[in-house]
Amino acid sequence: MSEHEPEAPRDDGVERPPPGPLKSSVEQERAAAEIAAAAEREAETKTLDLGAGLSDRLIVAITGTSLRVTVLALVLAFAIGGVFLALSEEAVREALGYFTSRPSDTFVLAWEQIRASYAALVGGALGSPRALTETLVLAGPLILTGLAVAVPLRAGLLNIGGEGQVIAGGLVGGWVGFSVTGLPLVLHLPLALLCGMLAGAAVGWVPGVLKARTGAHEVISTIMLNNIFVAITFWVLTTTAFQVPGRADPISQSILPSARLPRYIEGLRGDIGILLALLIAAGIFWLMERSTRGFELNAVGSNASAARAAGMDPSNSTIFALTTAGALAGVAGCLIILGIDGRISPGFSSGIGFDGITVALLGRGGIGGSVAAGLLLGGLKAGGRSMQGATQTSLDLVVVIQALIIIFIAAPKLVQAIFRVKVTDDRTTQISKGWGA
């Protein structure tokens, strides 16, 4: 056979694609294999061995790490937080002045301050029907803003614009709630929620398009939109479309009863907002874990180049992720205005859009984790108010405890090193990419 003569095809009964024309198909198969491998690795990080118990599986699904490490992280966070609580008491600081002569005074006073503070914290979060409903009513918007950060994280994006999206949803949903009249509850409330959701989605869509079409970083664009909507709030509350007739202060008209979230216990602030948040979270879980769109988001977040080679469009995934995030945050704004507050006032969002970042990071970017973290932070917020009233402890110390919990749950290896424990079944997940990703 001549050196330049092409080799005759082998007749061994096995079909082989021609070497040249289907090169792109081979690349697509390789890319699909890479995406499948990434998905398999991600699935492995969220599960334990078959011999693990149900509680371990649940904890891993929520926090991304084992039950032992999660418990130790909470213990460590509350222990260090207790030191700050003790030092916040003036009597403890005075006892430190004569610590060498009577050290027992310092320890007794410190223990009493820590015990009283944490008792008030737990009692204010779970100690009564009023406390429990307060925790749930605060947790609903937190869960949704957490999901508004968690969904883009799956696509490798960081949504800092939850605050602006919450404000947009609250403004539009609240306006529909007091300006549209003559509708029954079954029509008026869903209409207000839908309009608020669409407003938040529109605010999320803008940075999504800017990112997909121009490459503008979503962190910058979403932060700028936050500032814009804070200013818009102050302006619209001075217009006749929002202001209470005869009043000049920047407070909107009250939401009509037909657009208020129904309360499940008369006389308490608890409303169906938490139920809506949980239902939406279940829908987002199905979207991210069971749908084709969710698979594309996860694939783009794992490797955008491989996803593009496999026929996916990262640009569309970017727009969809940030638009969905905006819709979630918009509903959170509606829960505040149509449920908790009952009217629009400056600063009604109270930084809950930024709290959503805390929720998503504490939940390690997972849907179940964000729900659990939202409930935890709702309890800390409700209990913190009770602690402040009962022990005169600064509410800022609750924020310190929240930060400590996040630090230790987000760094399980640090907890293992501190307590010198070895967890062979521990799994962790990467919940975001670097700035330049």
21-39: pLDDT as tens digits = 444 555 555 566 656 655 5
Confidence of residue 427 (pLDDT cuts 50, 70, 90): very low
- Picking from 300-309, 375-384, 400-409, which range would have the lowest pLDDT averaged per residue? 400-409
Provide the pLDDT for residue 280: 96
Tell me: pLDDT of 169 over 80: yes
Reported as a pLDDT band with limits 50, 70 and 90, residue 408 is confident
Q: What is the pLDDT of residue 392?
A: 78
- 249 pLDDT band, cuts 50/70/90, is confident
CA distance 315 to 32: 18
Mean pLDDT of 252-270: 88
pLDDT computed for residue 49 by the predictor: 43
Residue at 49 is within a domain: no
Q: Is the pLDDT of residue 310 over 90?
A: no
CA distance 353 to 164: 7
The pair of structure tokens assigned to 219 is 């962190």
pLDDT of residue 7 exceeding 90:
no
CB 118 within 8 A of CB 378: no
- The Cα 412–Cα 432 span in angstroms is 16
| Residue 419 placed within a domain | no
User: pLDDT (tens digit, 9 = 90+) per residue, 313-369?
Assistant: 899 999 999 999 999 999 999 999 999 889 999 989 888 999 999 899 888 888 988
Distant-in-sequence, close-in-space partners of 322: CB < 8 Å, separation ≥ 6: 152, 157, 159, 204, 205, 207, 208, 211, 218
Question: Quick one: the chain helix, strand, coil %, rounded to 5?
Answer: 70, 0, 30
Q: Which residue has the tokens 């970042």?
A: 357
pLDDT-based confidence at residue 89 (cuts at 50, 70, 90): confident
What end-to-end distance do the CA atoms of the chain give, in Å?
52
Q: Tell me whether residue 422 is in a domain.
A: no
Per-residue pLDDT, 424: 52
Residue 115 lies in a domain: no
Alpha helices in 97-249 (DSSP H): 103-126, 129-154, 162-179, 185-214, 218-236
Q: Please state, in angstroms and rounded to a whole number, the distance separating the CA atoms of residues 35 and 388.
A: 50
Structural domain range at position 205:
131-376
Asked whether residue 359 is domain-assigned, the answer is: yes
Per cent of the chain over pLDDT 90 is: 43
pLDDT digits (tens, 9 = 90+) for 118-133: 898 899 889 888 899 9
State the CATH number of the domain containing residue 271. 1.10.3470
On whether residue 178 sits in a domain, the answer given is yes
Classify residue 42: in a domain, yes or no.
Answer: no
Q: Over the stretch 361-392, which tens digit does the pLDDT of each residue have?
A: 888 888 988 999 899 899 988 888 888 887 77
> Is residue 33 in some structural domain?
no
Q: Identify the pLDDT of residue 406.
A: 77
CA-closest candidate to residue 237, choices 355, 341, 354:
341
Binned at pLDDT 50, 70 and 90, residue 50 comes out as: very low
Give the model confidence (pLDDT) of 55-69 as tens digits: 555 555 555 556 677
The encoded tokens of residue 290 equal 């069971």
Please give the tally of structural domains in the chain. 1
pLDDT of residue 240 exceeding 50, the answer is yes
Q: Which DSSP letter does residue 263 get?
A: B
Query: Where does the pLDDT of residue 302 fall: very low under 50, low under 70, confident under 90, or very high at 90 and above?
Result: confident
Residue type, 404: L
pLDDT (0 to 100) of residue 23: 43
| Selection from 88, 76, 138 nearest residue 112 by Cα | 88
Question: pLDDT-derived band of residue 436, with 50, 70 and 90 as boundaries?
Answer: very low
